[in-house]
Amino acid sequence: NAGVMQNPRHLVRRRGQEARLRCSPMKGHSHVYWYRQLPEEGLKFMVYLQKENIIDESGMPKERFSAEFPKEGPSILRIQQVVRGDSAAYFCASSLSRGGEIADTQYFGPGTRLTVL
C-alpha cells in the first residue's frame, strides 16, 4: 500500500511564474491537508479538503493560492505569480474519514521543496 505521494519533490520557479504541487493521498483516504514549512519555522496549516470540497481554508493566503481535490486525480495546490517569500517546503497529509468528532492519524507525504529565484 503506497503512502502519500507528492510531486515534484523539488520545484524551482522564477518570480511571477506559477507553481503546481500535486498530492496523491493513501488509498482509501478521503481527507487531504496541505501544510507549509517556511525556512527555520514550524509547520503551518493551509487548507483541508475532501473530494470536490474545500472544508477549511483558514490558513491559506487570500491571494495567489488555491487548492482543489477533484473527484478523480490528485489534490493540487496552486500558487500563482510566485514571490521569493513563497519558498518553503509544502507537505500534504491524508487521513481516513471515520466521521463525527473523531480525529484520525494523518500520514504525511515527503513534501515539495519550492524555491523561487
Which residues of the shown chain bind another protein in the complex (CB under 8 A)?
31, 33, 35, 41-48, 55-56, 58-59, 89, 91, 95, 97-108, 110-111, 113
Q: State the nearest-atom distance from the C-beta of 61 to another protein, in Å.
A: 15
Q: How far apart are CA 94 and CA 6, in angstroms?
A: 11
Closest distance of CB 90 from another protein, Å: 11
CA–CA gap between residue 78 and residue 9 (Å, rounded)? 15
Looking at beta carbons only, is 33 or 116 nearer to another protein? Answer: 33
Closest distance of CB 105 from another protein, Å: 5
Judged by beta carbon, residue 45 or residue 64, the one nearer another protein is: 45
Do the Cβ atoms of 11 and 112 come closer than 8 Å?
A: yes
Cβ proximity to another protein: between 111 and 116 the closer is: 111
Minimum Å distance from CB 16 to another protein? 27
Give the list of residues 6+ apart from residue 105 with CB closer than 8 angstroms, or none. Answer: 95
17 or 59: CB nearest another protein: 59
Please count the other Cβ atoms lying within 10 Å of the Cβ belonging to residue 115. 14
